[in-house]
Amino acid sequence: MRTIRKFPLSDLEILKPKILNWAQQYEEIVWLDGNDYPLKEKLFQALLAVDAFTALKTDAQQGFDKLNEFQVATEDWIFGYLSYDLKNDVENLNSNNHDGLHFPDLYFFQPKKVFLFFEDYVEIQYLNLVADEMEKDWEIINKVTYEDKNRTGNNVAIRSRTSKEQYLQKANGVLEHIKKGNIYEVNLCQEFYSENATIDPLQTFLQLDKISRPPFSAFLKLSELYALSASPERYIKRNGTRVVSQPIKGTAKRSKNKEEDIEFAKQLIADPKERSENIMITDLVRNDLSRIAERGSVKVEELCGLHSFEQVHQLISTISCEVSPNFSSVEILRNTFPMGSMTGAPKISAMKIIEEVEDTKRGLYSGAIGYFAPNGNFDFNVVIRSILYNSLKKYVSFSVGGAITINSIPEKEYDECMLKAKAMRQVLEDILLV
């Protein structure tokens, strides 16, 4: 079905803008990049899929059933995304808030051309019907010229869907739910957006990626729909019978002063409020995995581990389990979706409160971008620290959020949101990168 060849690779960082520029000729693109971040469970340095042979685009109704049918029937690479609003297919929920982006709830495609990047070589897999284009494509890619820029060329005026005063009222409302015992934790998010906006999606992504260097970076183009993701978070991965999820909860700012930066990290590790956020979500993910796990196989391999990124320090936990080799990959997603770090605990109650208090339909934000391999293995990020863009509607959006718990101080939660928004705002407002 596919013709496979390997070519030597000297420097992925030099090749990255070249191959992404080359890929822009296609209507469907997914680029997934680990940015050489030292995170475990990594199979590839990066992956690129372009040019749909077949595709599935649908709303939430029976979304997972349709995805399962597509994945099983294809028995090939498929790349795409799951929007947060597929929660409505998993539970009796709805999504009625404002939506300026209009992304389908689920979108996957079978690419004609796949590139798998390893340490010192690239493996190229083309469907046989386009196999004769492989050599020429690789030659063209390596000849692409690219000028590294420190500016995006954007001039976008960012507005907030939720004012600071409104956010504080919402956070206090969530705290009332917590005090009444209705909920333990809610991930409260807010949208920043611009209408009548024109951006260069690729240049914006390259600059966002450059200043963030995240382990789950993604560039997605599906016709007029774009996701430019600098995500540091893995939702879930399957490799054979092993399944791993790595929720993030707990955030601290970084400093250019080394001693101060170390102190911020120490404070985060010791902060009881930040640790409790993480531990609650770790328990939630353990519970999600237990639905599909072999008995007694769910393990917390790392609890509240410190991981430092370009803008922030974060606490990440790693939870794993074993599943039957016959267990459907899509069923694993159905039983764990959406990622607990983006909802709260208990999960269903949290999602109901989120729909009540937030001003925007989340859509792809806090959903997942990733792939299925031909053998059913998969890997998906969590769509956070990401810019979403509908070029037809000229609407650009990014959202940020944080966990509200009993110990939350709304002003500090708002400040944490602004910290997380910094990189997206920087590239959209074309602030000089240093």
pLDDT digits (tens, 9 = 90+) for 32-78: 999 999 877 788 999 999 999 999 999 999 999 999 999 999 999 99
For residue 83, CA distances in Å to 169, 195, 338 come to 27, 21, 9
Give me the phi and psi of 29, to 5 degrees please. -140, 135
The C-alpha atoms of residue 60 and residue 351 are separated, in whole angstroms, by 15
pLDDT in tens, the chain (434 residues): 999 999 999 999 999 999 999 999 999 999 999 999 987 778 899 999 999 999 999 999 999 999 999 999 999 999 999 999 999 999 999 999 999 999 999 999 999 999 999 999 999 999 999 999 999 999 999 999 887 777 788 889 999 999 999 999 999 999 999 999 999 999 999 999 999 999 999 999 999 999 999 999 999 999 999 999 999 999 999 999 999 999 999 999 999 999 999 999 999 999 999 999 999 999 999 999 999 999 999 999 999 999 999 999 999 999 999 999 999 999 999 999 999 999 999 999 999 999 999 999 999 999 999 999 999 999 999 999 999 999 999 999 999 999 999 999 999 999 999 999 999 999 999 865 44
Query: Helix or strand or coil: residue 366?
Result: coil
pLDDT in tens, 146-197: 877 777 888 899 999 999 999 999 999 999 999 999 999 999 999 999 999 9
**What letter would DSSP give residue 60?**
S
The structure tokens 């991965």 sit at 237
Round to whole Å and give the CA distance between 179 and 174: 9
Chain mean position to CA 28? 18
Q: How far apart are CA 36 and CA 48, in angstroms?
A: 16
Q: What are the counts of helices (DSSP H) followed by strands (DSSP E) for the chain?
A: 11, 20
Contact yes or no for 374/207 (Cβ under 8 A): no
Dihedrals φ, ψ of 261, to 5°?
A: -60, -45
The per-residue b/e assignment along 397-426, b for 16 or more CB within 10 angstroms, e otherwise, is: bbbbbbbbbeebebeebbebbebbbbbbbb
Active site residues: 233, 249
User: Is 298 within 8 Å of 336 (Cβ atoms)?
Assistant: no
Query: Length of the chain, please?
Result: 434
Q: H/E element holding 73?
A: helix 63-74
Closest CA to 184 of 255, 282, 296: 282
Rounded to whole angstroms, the maximal C-alpha distance in the chain is: 65
- Out of 3.40.50.300, 3.60.120.10, 1.10.1840.10, 3.30.70.1140, the CATH code matching 2-428 is 3.60.120.10
| DSSP code for 128 | G
